[in-house]
């Protein structure tokens, strides 16, 4: 995505770090990560989808070398 990706108010650094760790673990394909976020943080399916979508859209920017 680009720098104009707006972060939803409820998305925290903890959510993003959790997803980074989940990705590294290889436990799930990241397209299935919403269910993990939903359970871990007690979010609604819609909220967890938005967290994962934001994480995916901003991954490259947050991990730029």
52 contacts 19 by C-beta, under 8 angstroms: yes
The confidence score (pLDDT) of residue 4 equals: 65
**Tens digits of residue pLDDT in 21-47:** 999 999 999 999 999 999 999 999 999
Tell whether the model's pLDDT for residue 51 goes beyond 50: yes
The confidence score (pLDDT) of residue 1 equals: 45
Cα 15 from chain centroid (whole Å): 6
């Amino acid at each position: 995505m680009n720098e104009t990706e707006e972060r939803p108010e409820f998305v925290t650094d903890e959510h993003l770090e959790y997803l980074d760790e989940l990705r590294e673990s290889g436990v799930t394909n990241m397209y299935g990560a919403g269910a993990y976020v939903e359970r871990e943080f007690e979010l609604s399916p819609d909220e967890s989808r938005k967290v994962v979508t934001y994480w995916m859209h901003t991954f490259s920017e947050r991990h730029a070398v």
